[in-house]
Amino acid sequence: ELLYHALYLVFCLLGVCTHPFFFSVLLLDIVYREETLLNVMRSVTRNGRSILLTAVLALVLVYMFSIVGYMFFRDHFLVTVDTLDDDPLFDINKCSDDPASKYYGDAGACSKPSRFVSVGGELRERSCDSLIMCIVTTLNQGLRNGG
């Protein structure tokens, strides 16, 4: 109990003297004082290995879905992009289909990267050009949209 209070005082002083971030550690006192939260912490730490293995299984499944998405649905992973009005990089109307147009006229206007696609007048970014981007997109969109 003495060690607990000494550490509590140390974190209080660190919060006052160095950075307020250390005050967040003091919130763990709620877990120490509340029996229900203490039981939850015990059950999580007791079953930590099985929880960790479940997370590894989830990552393996996301990896497998990402490989399928990368191989077969690469062109369907499109994310809407917000454009700036004064940014010539995203001005899709100024670019010509003529391959020689990059050598004359406004060269900066046609420097649009190939990862951007216009769909129905809306600019979208290809978010699955590499396997790592497919993994990140699958994790991001999967967690946001409920799996």
Instruction: Tell me whether residue 2 is in a domain.
Output: yes
Instruction: Tell me whether residue 137 is in a domain.
Output: no
Weakest-pLDDT range from 3-12, 108-117, 136-145: 108-117
- Asked whether residue 101 carries a pLDDT value surpassing 70, the answer given is no
Which residues face 67 on adjacent strands?
A: none
Contacts 24+ apart (CB under 8 A), 12-20: none
Q: How many domains does the structure of the chain reveal?
A: 1
Contacts 24+ apart (CB under 8 A), 100-109: none
Instruction: Tell me whether residue 13 is in a domain.
Output: yes
Beta strands in the chain (DSSP E): 78-80, 116-119, 122-126
Strand-by-strand arrangement of the 116-119 sheet: 78-80, 122-126, 116-119
The model's pLDDT over 32-49, given as tens digits with 9 standing for 90+, comes to: 889 999 999 898 889 889
Q: Given this model, what pLDDT does residue 1 score?
A: 84
Instruction: Tell me whether residue 80 is in a domain.
Output: no
The confidence band for 61, taking pLDDT boundaries of 50, 70 and 90, is: very high
Q: Given this model, what pLDDT does residue 107 score?
A: 47
* Residue numbers of the domain that contains 26: 1-46
Q: Given this model, what pLDDT does residue 2 score?
A: 92
Weakest-pLDDT range from 9-13, 57-61, 107-111, 135-139: 107-111
Please, what is the average pLDDT of the chain? 79
Instruction: Tell me whether residue 3 is in a domain.
Output: yes
Instruction: Tell me whether residue 14 is in a domain.
Output: yes
Instruction: Tell me whether residue 24 is in a domain.
Output: yes
Name the pTM for this structure: 0.55
